[in-house]
A and B are shown apart, each in its own frame.
Chain A
């Protein structure tokens, strides 16, 4: 059994860990509110964008000559996967959930004999993926310097993806991120952004639009922007999810530390009492023998 001194030290160390996790939880809670707000504010843009594209692609006259970003290259040989994770750890299952989802998708693609290319956004994802898929990772981006998700960063990623698409480096592009449902639940998502998957969505309006210039030209201007917008949306969802995940992870950690302190304190008190009893017995039996 550990000595009284050891127990005392352990209690102190667990208590200071608890203080740290508690502080991290509070910080995450504050950041979560901000992240959630900006995720909500960002929604109108991507919704409107989606709407316009839907209207456009319905109005397009010549489906065969539609921009490649919309209709695809006609084959599905090379897949590009953009895996979006956080730059910091200590956020529970946040990163591992995305990685798990991505890995099962990778396995499926490789099983089908297709080629796989990976772009990782965020250093944690890169750390976890480079062990197994190191040779497949073509690019690693991280935005450690930016405090909040911003459109400028998303646009950088989007432009890179489009550049690679135009250079015919891949046929299908999928992004992986965590969708924020609530603080406890984040759902890892795989969303195909190239070619754009609009199936099942019907345009709400029957109205016909006037286009200036014509549909094709607007579409070819709009689709690249949509890529950046989708990536930005994923980044916003991700940052809200990250904070939510961290908050619940730290909450758990704080509670566990509390339990541990309780247990250690009981053990400490018991051994203290045992020591006193032992001393008393010694004194009494010493007195009796006289």
Chain B
């Protein structure tokens, strides 16, 4: 019995990634990191800024996301997100750009608590990357 399932990452422009030999996916869910294995119960949750780790036979991959929704059903994991970057393709300058943007956002005074929290999260995650 194989322990693999299918993951699909979609962004508004296209289907970003489809993989069907995944053994585990760790997503930064809103209430904490969540590891998903095969035969997980059907779940819907949403993401906070963080790193998606995809562990598969063909190698591990890491993606940086800023927001999104995850849906897991019948061993199909769908991740809908508007901002996603493959960490392998992300160079230092890109990281710095994103960090600067996030810091600016976090320093705004006229935003509500939730967006403040999300912006702080972004800063934190991006800092750990450097």
Q: Sort chain A's interface into a size bin.
A: 20 to 34
Question: Which partner residue on chain A sits nearest B81 by CB separation?
Answer: A45
Measured CB to CB, the closest approach of chain A to B82, in angstroms, equals: 6
Residues facing B in A60-106 (CB within 8 A) are none
Q: In the complex, are the beta carbons of A45 and B46 less than 8 A apart?
A: no
Quick one: which of A45, A211, A222 contacts B12, CB cutoff 8 A? A45
Residues facing B in A4-24 (CB within 8 A) are none
Interface string of A121-142 (1 = CB under 8 A from B): 0000000000000000000000
Q: In the complex, are the beta carbons of A212 and B45 less than 8 A apart?
A: yes
Which residues does chain B contribute within 8 Å of A154, judged by CB atoms? 12
Question: Which partner residue on chain A sits nearest B114 by CB separation?
Answer: A221
Which residues does chain B contribute within 8 Å of A46, judged by CB atoms? 12
Q: In the complex, are the beta carbons of A209 and B42 less than 8 A apart?
A: yes
Interface string of B26-69 (1 = CB under 8 A from A): 00011100100000011111100000000000000000000101
Quick one: which of B15, B41, B46 contacts A222, CB cutoff 8 A? B46
Q: In the complex, are the beta carbons of B80 and A55 less than 8 A apart?
A: no
Which residues does chain B contribute within 8 Å of A212, judged by CB atoms? 29-31, 34, 43-45
Q: CB of B10 within 8 A of chain A? A: yes
With A213-B31, A232-B12 as contacts: A56 and B44 at CB distance below 8 Å: yes
Q: In the bound complex, what is the Cα–Cα distance between A210 and B45 (angstroms)?
A: 9
With A49-B80, A207-B42 as contacts: A41 and B69 at CB distance below 8 Å: no
Q: In the complex, are the beta carbons of B44 and A229 less than 8 A apart?
A: no
Q: CB of B71 within 8 A of chain A? A: yes
Q: In the complex, are the beta carbons of B45 and A48 less than 8 A apart?
A: no
Q: In the bound complex, what is the Cα–Cα distance between A287 and B10 (angstroms)?
A: 90
Q: CB of B78 within 8 A of chain A? A: yes
Q: In the complex, are the beta carbons of B44 and A48 less than 8 A apart?
A: no
Measured CB to CB, the closest approach of chain B to A157, in angstroms, equals: 13
Q: In the complex, are the beta carbons of B42 and A151 less than 8 A apart?
A: no
Q: Is the interface of A mostly helix, strand, loop or mixed?
A: helix
Q: Sort chain B's interface into a size bin.
A: 20 to 34
Q: In the complex, are the beta carbons of A45 and B41 less than 8 A apart?
A: no
Q: In the complex, are the beta carbons of B12 and A151 less than 8 A apart?
A: yes
Measured CB to CB, the closest approach of chain B to A206, in angstroms, equals: 11
With A209-B42, A211-B43, A212-B29 as contacts: A151 and B13 at CB distance below 8 Å: yes
Q: In the complex, are the beta carbons of A210 and B42 less than 8 A apart?
A: yes
Q: In the complex, are the beta carbons of A41 and B29 less than 8 A apart?
A: no
Measured CB to CB, the closest approach of chain A to B121, in angstroms, equals: 14
Q: CB of B19 within 8 A of chain A? A: no
Measured CB to CB, the closest approach of chain B to A182, in angstroms, equals: 22
With A41-B15, A213-B31 as contacts: A55 and B10 at CB distance below 8 Å: no
Q: In the complex, are the beta carbons of A218 and B45 less than 8 A apart?
A: yes
Q: In the complex, are the beta carbons of B82 and A48 less than 8 A apart?
A: no
Q: CB of B127 within 8 A of chain A? A: no
Which residues does chain A contribute within 8 Å of B30, judged by CB atoms? 212-213, 221
Question: Which partner residue on chain A sits nearest B82 by CB separation?
Answer: A151
Q: CB of A286 within 8 A of chain B? A: no
Q: In the bound complex, what is the Cα–Cα distance between A221 and B78 (angstroms)?
A: 17
Residues facing B in A214-261 (CB within 8 A) are 218, 221-222, 225, 228-229, 232
Q: CB of A171 within 8 A of chain B? A: no
Q: In the complex, are the beta carbons of A52 and B71 less than 8 A apart?
A: yes
Q: CB of B108 within 8 A of chain A? A: no
Q: In the complex, are the beta carbons of A210 and B78 less than 8 A apart?
A: no
Q: In the bound complex, what is the Cα–Cα distance between A205 and B41 (angstroms)?
A: 14
Q: In the bound complex, what is the Cα–Cα distance between A207 and B73 (angstroms)?
A: 9
Which residues does chain B contribute within 8 Å of A146, judged by CB atoms? none
20 contacts between A and B (CB under 8 A): A38-B13, A41-B14, A44-B10, A48-B78, A49-B80, A52-B69, A154-B12, A155-B82, A207-B73, A208-B42, A209-B73, A210-B41, A210-B42, A210-B43, A211-B43, A212-B29, A212-B45, A213-B45, A222-B46, A232-B12
